[in-house]
Every structure is written in C-alpha cells, then in structure tokens.
Structure 1
C-alpha cells in the first residue's frame, strides 16, 4: 500500500539539509554532554575545586583547618617575594630539573641504544633496567641514604677497598654535593621509563635508512648523528617534557634523604611548601608557592614544546 505524504512530512523534506544537520548536531551534543556529565562532575570535585580553594587560601592568613582565616589581599605574594629561601629553593629547583633531565633522560637514551643492539639478552636487560622505576621514591631514598653513608655505605666501602678512601665525601652533608647526590638517586628510579620510551622510538625508525647509510660508507657515529637521533626527535621531545615535569615533583627523595638540609642546601620548592604548610602552619604562603610551581610547570612545558616546534618547522 502506498504511503500518503502528510503536510508535516513534506515540510520536513523541504527543509534545508543544513538545518537538519544543525538539529542533529544539537541532539548529539546534548547526548554527549549527558554522557560526560559524571566525568565532568568528578573532575570538578577532585581537580578544579582544590585548585580554586588553593587560590582562595593564597589571599588569606590561614594557619590551619581549625583556625579562622581572613582576607589579606596580596600580602602572601609580597611575603613570597621578600623571602630569600623562596628564591634559593626556586634556583635549586631549576638546578634539580636540569640534573634530572641530563641524568635520567641521558642515561635512558644511552641504555636504550645499548639494549637495542642486543639479541638474546635484550628482554632481560630491558626488564632489569626498568625494575627501579617500580620502586617508590621513598624506598629509593632510604636505599640510597645507606649507599651514601660515609662509614659503612657501599660507595665509601668500595673506595676504601680499591685504595681510594681519600676520595670519600660527605655526599649528603656537603652543601656543594648534596643536591647532585640526591638527584642521582631520583634519576636512578626514573631512567627506566625513559629507556623504554626511547626503545619504542628506535623500533619505529625505518631500517632501510641504516642500510642506505652503510652503502654510503657511514660509520656508527655518523649513523647515530644522521639517522638515529633525527628519528628519535619526537620521542626525545616527549621524554624531555616528561622529565621536566617529573623533575619539578622531586619531593619524596629529598624529604627522605635530607629533609632539605644541610642548611637549606637541598631545599626545593616542593619541600619548602611542605615545611610551610605542615610545620610552620603558614598555609597562605604555601598556597602561593603551589600556584608558583604550577605556573612554572606550565610555562616550562609550553615554552619547550614551542621551541621544538620552531626547530622542526
């Protein structure tokens, strides 16, 4: 039986296709919004709300959760600018960041190049080098604090056994060595992840490029500089960005091994935030430094990625 077309059906058929698409897109957006609403609510509750609360605390003289806080305007920001420890910890944070990128990222690259050349034992060494990354930073701090012990530690014992006992240093008590020493422990925990990322990047390089380089008479160093490193450019950008972000979070290792000492020589922004918030009960100044660290992470990451984009263009 033939279906009779009603006036409404005819009007719908005469409606422009763009209008029908707009109606469909609105319906699709509404359905997508309903599906995303639980995730948006959880994100707002556990991410946006703490951020906004931290910003609010930075404008108050909050001294704890059980104390009354009053609005003080920009006083906490002015105090942060006048606090010499803030500037010292900020400088050491940049130094810590550079150490982590060079030590952890560089060691990850070197080991990735070495492991990728192996055939039978590749899986064993890849797993062995990744295992430290599974250990928490607090445990790593305890392990390396014992390694650095000047009396019975592994380093001092080894130097004594080979006749170089005079080289033994106060690795965690010397203000000139302590930040580097602690960063070695933190980088030892993190290099395994970067190594796996570099190995994945090496596997994606076209092997025909190496064959062409061999035909042209390139040696190993020339193949590394002209084939391997350019092929790892995108992975290297990601690893450096990740290493910089992880470097800004170096709290646990410093706290366990030195607690910012001696004489603030290993104090970084995160440990000073903890000291202000939970020891001095100065939540306003601690909130200012939290905001400063967040902005620092955003600025460093964005600036580095834009620089890499200009270099690749």
Structure 2
C-alpha cells in the first residue's frame, strides 16, 4: 500500500499535468492579443491623419472625378450628369493640345536649364579653395524667394524699355539682340522658364555638391595616374559617381516643373496669344474666368495621369540604370 507522501506527490503531479495545456494555450494567445492591441493603438494614432488626408485629398479627388462627368458652371449652379461629353470636348479642343505641348516643352526647358546650371555651379564651387561657403550660400538664396516674387522681379528685368536685360545689351553695343522677351510668342515660354529655373537651380546645386563630397578621392588619383585630363575625369569618374544624385535631382526637377503655375501666371498669365499657356494656366482660366468646371476637371485628371505616368516611367528607368 503506497504511503501518504507518495499519494500527495502523485496528486500534485496529476494536477500539474492537467493544467499544462491550459497554461500553454494562454501563453500562445498572449502574442496575438498584444499584436491586436498594437494594431488598434496604431490605427487610433493614425486616425487623425487619415481623417485630414481624406478631407483634403481623397474627397477633392473624388469630387473632381464627379465634376468631370457634369456640366458644372459654378459653385452655386445646378450641375447635370453629361457622361463623357467633357472628355470629348477636351479631345477636340485645340487649346488643350497646344497647352499640353507647351507643358512638355516647359518641362524640358526646366530640367535642362535648372539641372544643368545646378550641376555646372556645383562643379565650379566645389573646385574652389577659398570662398566656397560664401558662393554656396549666395547662389542658394534665389531658392528662398517665392515663385510669385520671382515672377515680379524677372518681369521687370525683361521690360523692353527700362528692363535690365535690354539695358545691359545696349551698354555692350549689342542692341541688335534686344527683344520683347515677354511679348514675342517664340521667346516668351523660354524667357519665363529662365526665371523659374533661376529660382530652382540653387537646391539642385546643393544636392550635387553633397554628392561630390561623397566621391572617393582615390578614384581621381587613379585617373591621373592613367593620364586622364579634366574632361575625361568628369565623364568617367564624376558623372558616374553622381548617378544616384542625378536621378533624384531629375525626378525632383520634373515634379517642380509640373507645378510651374505661379511664375507664368504672374509674368504673362498665359499670353501673348496663348504662347505661354501651359495646362495649369488653362485650368485656371476655365475654372475662374470661363466657369467651365467640367472641362477643367477633365484637364486636372489629365495632369494627374501625366504626372503618374512620368513618375512610373522614370522610376523604371532609374531601376534599370541601377542594375
């Protein structure tokens, strides 16, 4: 017959064995509960931002899409559903196609002028032994000026009677180069883009200078040993080393170019004779002057599609270049 101590020991053993599955199941549920609690906490913290984003971004997008299918002519007028009529009108509007072509030309001008000038100045300033901080700060100052103020400044620079541009040309005995910079349909878009690029090149210059500081100096020493001149070092060492920075600067420049409304509006408002009428200016005219909100909404959607397409294409190109 077993002793009392043996019976007590067996009883505790049986109790521990019987309670083990329950305790293990509770322990298994604790990480899941913590995960649910953390997700609930994260959602609660994100809820204000989601609400603000929905009110100021998602709802306007949905409203724009809806307006594009209506004949809305004002905020206080009753709009009726017209289907794809606005899209058909946009397709047949010659001003839409002209403004779209000028938008792509504006994009090309801005990328070439601002990025090219930023790279050239970054190379020049980085090669200085003294005064590097002074020139870097001075050349960056235009970027701190708003585009509207830049438009006012350059409109006075281009003034055909007392503007700085024609005055300097006259002083240099180059009066034959004097132009109506903002009144010539062939020059106006380029002239306005010069002002916009002048405001933006400072940021690109700083980005390129940051990339130049990260280049390995031993690469230049090896190039000199191989007998490379300054041009060869630029082509085979500097530019390949700036590949990642260049792709980022190009993407940033294209985004900024698509937002080129303020400078054009202040300097020319799309004139003369639609010569500087980019798509954003035409959207403004349709919305606030013609009160054709349906067609304006179609062009807003078109601009969004263009921006998304350019972004996707550029990212794929950058990914292929990185391989």
1:254 aligns with 2:293: no
1:11 aligns with 2:22: yes
Q: Secondary structure at the match of 1:264?
A: coil
Aligned residue among 283, 303, 306 for 1:273: 283
Q: Secondary structure at the match of 1:92?
A: helix
Q: Which residue of 2 aligns with 1:241?
A: 251
Q: Which residue of 1 aligns with 2:126?
A: 116
Q: 1:294 to 1:176 in 2, by over 3 A?
A: same
Aligned residue among 154, 157, 169 for 2:179: 169
- Cα RMSD (Å): 2.0
1:158 aligns with 2:171: no
Q: Which structure 1 residue ranges, 5 or more long, are not aligned?
A: none
| Residue correspondence of structure 1 range 63-142 to structure 2 within 5 A | 63-142=73-152
Aligned residue among 29, 39, 50 for 2:60: 50
Q: Which residue of 1 aligns with 2:197?
A: 187
TM-score by length of 2: 0.91
Could you report, residue by residue, the CA deviation over 1:30-88 in whole angstroms, capped at 9, with x for unpaired residues? 22112111111111111111111111111111111111111111111111101100000
Q: Which structure 2 residue ranges, 5 or more long, are not aligned?
A: 1-14
TM-score by length of 1: 0.94
Q: 1:203 offset after TM fit, Å?
A: 1.3
Could you report, residue by residue, the CA deviation over 1:173-206 in whole angstroms, capped at 9, with x for unpaired residues? 1111110011000100110111111111111222
Q: 1:192 to 1:7 in 2, by over 3 A?
A: farther
Could you report, residue by residue, the CA deviation over 1:92-130 in whole angstroms, capped at 9, with x for unpaired residues? 000000000000011011111111112321111111111
Q: Secondary structure at the match of 1:118?
A: coil
Q: Secondary structure at the match of 2:219?
A: helix
Aligned residue among 136, 155, 165 for 1:145: 155
Q: Secondary structure at the match of 1:63?
A: coil
